[in-house]
Amino acid sequence: MAMTNAERMKKYREKIKKDKVKYEAMKAKARARNNSIRTVLRGASLAKFRAENKMRQQKFRENKKQSLIDKPFPSSFKSRQSFGKALKKVNSSLPKCDLKKKVIIQHIAQSVGLVPKSTHKRTTLQLADKLKNDVHNFYLRDDVSYQLPGKKDTVVVQEDDGSKVTYQKRILFNNLRENYELFKEENKNVLLSRTSFAELRPPFVVPKAALAHRNCLCLYHENICLLLKSIDKYVDGKFCSSLQIFTDSLVCSTNNEECMFSSCSLCEDFFTEKVEENVSDGNAKITWSQWINENGRAEKKDFSGSVDEAREQSKCFEKLKEEASDEKIVLQVDFAENFNMKEQDEIQKAHWNSKPLSIFTAYVWSKNENFAFALPSSDITHDKFVVDAALEIILNHIKAHWNSKPLSIFTAYVWSKNENFAFALPSSDITHDKFVVDAALEIILNHIVTILPNIKVVDCFSDGAASQFKQRFHFRNLVQIANEHNIDLSWHFFATSHGKGVVDGIGGTVKRLVWSAILAGEVCRSAEDFIKIAKKKTKKVILIEITKNNIDTSKNKLESIFKTAKSIPETLKMHSVKVVDNNTLEFRYYSSCFQKKTVKY
């Protein structure tokens, strides 16, 4: 009867093993083959190979150990009688209790190596995936950390599958202890240690200490922090140990508007009771540093009100993002730092005569999809017309369903229920004026309407830049935009110096991608070149140019409308504007404030 393949191979291996030279040559050939396979493995394949190899080695060691245990030991007794006497002697010495007898026999067997010694296995409680995701999302909240806008502000993170992803760096506002207390306050039923909370911090979210040079911070908050740092050593207790503890100790509730604006009679004496009466040395001289305005006007501002504005606007922002749907979207816009167009290996004269490019960035949140926009422009005025043009482009682009042409860069981000959108609108117009803003908004809104035709409500967030957004011309234009697109439009302003967000990351990302291409030899001399390069590098950001025609169209459309613009009292204090009807605006100090002021045109 013929042998099977398995039998033939078995016979062949037995024959090879008898010839030591051939056997060693075969093993060397197998090693070389296995090593060549390992060298080409990457990512998930390499991780899988290592895991299988580890399990194979572990199984081999266990089998080897078991074979040694099962192997009979040579007898030390000359006869069965002598063995029986020794066994009887041992049994008579053992306790009569079966449990005690088992413990002693087990201990003797372990001491002579018959059975392995028992090892204590430490059990650890695994955190639920939902809790891990909640902590991860907490770190990414805009009221917990802010995103750096620079093209070099990135962190490369290796994912579980072995791939590497570049993230825009985020900086924590507070230290880990304060963030942990805030998380516990919001999630009182969650059991999580501070160590685990710190370990779950994403690698691209870093503490303040990781920043070599910090800038663009809030003037009011930093001045109070500088003061608290100096007086903490002279005040008993921990009332001045951190900014959050200090503000919490001065009010009945941080959620009460009257308390935060010093209008509550119950907590008006808290500063005297908790700070002044706990001063350890009343004769000590304290010195501290303060940021001041050298040029222009300086204004004294109520600090607790500033804290409340920042918190309330952040809460409103997060709430509206969660409520985003196909009919109600959230849009965040801002101008990125101007981009200087350079070339690799350029001569000295060219280096000192580079042309700046303005970039209007935007991000759209919706129900099913988000959109990132970067709108470059050569107009660097950053005025109201540039803003209008950028918004026009974004809306038109969403209408046109991704028919985008991505240099000032106007950035925007839109949140909806199922989908978010990131916008970067480059433009050769770097004025950043009201006409560029209008052109950018027109682009963004038209694009959104195309993708989400059922859109009815738009809540837009931005910083309070007076030359771009927080001004009477832009307020007047909001009525026009709402009427043109038949939408319920509201515009919210973040508190002073608290406007950093995802749109800054969009601007930094597209500039980094284009700059990397320039270093590799690509040429970028215009907004068209910028868009062409950026579109090769990313598909996640919608890139459309704010052209001169877009801005001119905004100027022609708005010149007559702006003649009816009215000066709004207390513009600097207003943080929420809502279009009520065809000629009416509603202003609030912050988005959830009960007090409101109405202006008719």
DSSP per position, 64-111: HHHHHHHSPPPP--SSHHHHHHHHHHHHHHS-S-HHHHHHHHHHHHHH
**pLDDT above 90 for 244:** no
- Per-residue pLDDT tens over the stretch 155-210: 888 887 778 888 888 988 888 888 898 898 888 888 899 999 999 999 999 987 77
**CA angle, corner 435, sides to 434 and 441, nearest 5?**
90
Lowest mean pLDDT among 70-74, 143-147, 335-339, 501-505: 70-74
pLDDT of residue 303: 46
* 2, amino acid identity: A
Percent of the chain with pLDDT over 70: 89
- Per-residue pLDDT tens over the stretch 364-401: 888 777 888 888 888 888 888 888 888 888 877 765 54
pLDDT of residue 218: 67
Global confidence as pTM: 0.51
**586 Cβ neighbours under 8 A, 6+ residues apart:** 577, 578, 579, 580, 596, 597, 598
Q: Residue range 327-336: average pLDDT?
A: 86
pLDDT of residue 55: 92
CB 360, CB 406: distance < 8 Å: no
pLDDT of residue 420: 87
Strands (E), 228-324: none
pLDDT of residue 58: 92
Query: What burial class does residue 409 get, using C-beta atoms within 10 Å of its C-beta: 0-12 exposed, 13-18 middle, 19+ buried?
Result: buried
Residue 350 confidence class, pLDDT cut points 50, 70, 90? low
**pLDDT above 60 for 243:** yes
Residue with the bigger pLDDT between 151 and 429: it is 429
Residue 299 confidence class, pLDDT cut points 50, 70, 90? very low
Lowest mean pLDDT among 307-311, 386-390, 411-415, 514-518: 307-311
- Per-residue pLDDT tens over the stretch 422-472: 899 988 887 888 888 889 988 988 888 888 888 889 999 998 888 888 889
pLDDT of residue 401: 44
Residue 542 confidence class, pLDDT cut points 50, 70, 90? very high
Residue 130 CA to residue 119 CA, distance in Å, equals: 33
Q: Residue range 58-81: average pLDDT?
A: 77
DSSP 126: P
pLDDT of residue 431: 82
Residue 389 CA to residue 438 CA, distance in Å, equals: 4
- Per-residue pLDDT tens over the stretch 9-42: 888 888 888 888 888 998 999 889 888 888 888 8
**pLDDT above 90 for 127:** no
369-372/419-424 β-pairing: parallel
Q: Residue range 135-157: average pLDDT?
A: 85
pLDDT of residue 176: 87
**pLDDT above 80 for 71:** no
pLDDT of residue 143: 80
Residue with the bigger pLDDT between 551 and 496: it is 551
Lowest mean pLDDT among 291-295, 323-327, 330-334: 291-295
Taking 3-state DSSP, the helix, strand and coil percentages for the chain, each rounded to the nearest 5, stand at 45, 15, 35
Percent of the chain with pLDDT over 90: 12
pLDDT of residue 225: 78
**175 Cβ neighbours under 8 A, 6+ residues apart:** 207, 208, 242
pLDDT of residue 502: 85
**pLDDT above 90 for 135:** yes
CB 422, CB 368: distance < 8 Å: no
Lowest mean pLDDT among 27-31, 114-118, 295-299, 480-484: 295-299
Residue 489 confidence class, pLDDT cut points 50, 70, 90? very high
**pLDDT above 70 for 74:** no
Kindly report the backbone phi and psi dihedral angles of residue 332, in degrees, each rounded to the nearest multiple of 5, phi listed first: -115, 135
pLDDT of residue 387: 87
429-430/375-379 β-pairing: parallel
Residue 504 confidence class, pLDDT cut points 50, 70, 90? confident
Across the chain, what does the average pLDDT equal? 82
**pLDDT above 90 for 236:** no
Q: Residue range 333-339: average pLDDT?
A: 86
Containing 328, the helix (H) or strand (E) segment is: strand 328-335
